Amino acid sequence: MRDWPVHPIAPDLRLCVVRDMPQLPPALDAEVERLWAAAQLRMGNALFNGRVFSADVISPHLVCGHWTEYRRIVAQMDRADLYPRLGVRPVAVGGVIVGPDGVVFGRRPAGAVYQAGEWQLPPAGSVDMGAARPEGAVDMVAQLLTELAEELGLPAESVYDFRPLSLVEHSGSHVLDLGIAMRTDWTAARILAAHAQGGNGEYDPLEIVPVGDLPGFLAGAGSLLNHQAPVFLRQIGLIG
């Protein structure tokens, strides 16, 4: 479960849409709908079947794919054996915010569809149609800034120096977590105040962990630490 592929990427990575969403055979579509309905029941009908970017071809400089519907992703999360037929590899951006007081961490809700209850490097979220740009381009930084405002209550101007890190692929669901490092000059107190006032409740609690305390924090999180966090922290040299 923990042997997840890590795809190296270049600093100038771009995302692009190159094809339409493929049609599903009727029997497969019916199974996707059944799994979607079950997930909706579990989540109190809180899920939205929007369009999410799914990668088809990955290279260090360019990731190309298509817009897929969220219900296919949920179905594949529930049944990993559907991957050969559904073939979705949804891309989710994840920020690594490094500030004067440390690194921002948040714990996901216990009822979340993906990585429930785990400690994560926020903000994070699927790349959706809000990141679509002309001629098939997909703006991953714009998606990250949307998540930053929604989840943490932080404005775009609070962060800078964006650096793509790598794509970590979930071995079961095939979700691709795209790490993007960024810096902030905001103090821990200011970040926590903004989160308390404007965050959407995606993370509870939110913590800013001093760089020197990272090894202890990661060890203490144990199995509740999501897999991509140490990968990204290692890439920017914050842990060994």
Residue 2 confidence (pLDDT) above 80: no
Mean pLDDT, residues 159-184 taken together: 96
pLDDT band with cut points at 50, 70 and 90 for residue 112 = confident
Q: Which residue has the higher pLDDT, 88 or 173?
A: 88
Q: What is the pTM of this model?
A: 0.94
Q: Model confidence over 222-238: pLDDT tens digits?
A: 999 999 999 999 999 99
In the chain, domain spans? 6-235
Residue 133 confidence (pLDDT) above 80: yes
pLDDT band with cut points at 50, 70 and 90 for residue 110 = confident
Residue 114 confidence (pLDDT) above 80: no
Residue 154 confidence (pLDDT) above 80: yes
Q: Model confidence over 42-97: pLDDT tens digits?
A: 999 999 999 999 999 999 999 999 999 999 999 999 999 999 999 999 999 999 99
pLDDT of residue 1: 41
Q: What is the DSSP string of the chain?
A: -----EEE--TT-EEEE-SPPPPPPHHHHHHHHHHHHHHHHHTTT-----EEEEEEEE-SSEEEEEEEEHHHHHHHHH-GGGHHHH---BEEEEEEEEETTEEEEEEPPTT-SSSTT-EE-SSEEE-BGGGB-GGGEE-HHHHHHHHIIIII---GGGEEEEEEEEEEEPTTT--EEEEEEEEE---HHHHHHHHHHH--SS-SSEEEE-GGGHHHHHHHHGGGB-THHHHHHHHTTS--
pLDDT band with cut points at 50, 70 and 90 for residue 109 = confident
Between 9-23, 105-119, 195-209, the lowest mean confidence (pLDDT) is in 105-119
All residues at 6 or more sequence positions from 136 whose CB lies less than 8 Å from its CB, including other chains: 16, 17, 18
- Can you name the CATH fold of 6-235? Nucleoside Triphosphate Pyrophosphohydrolase (3.90.79)
Mean pLDDT across the chain, nearest whole number? 95
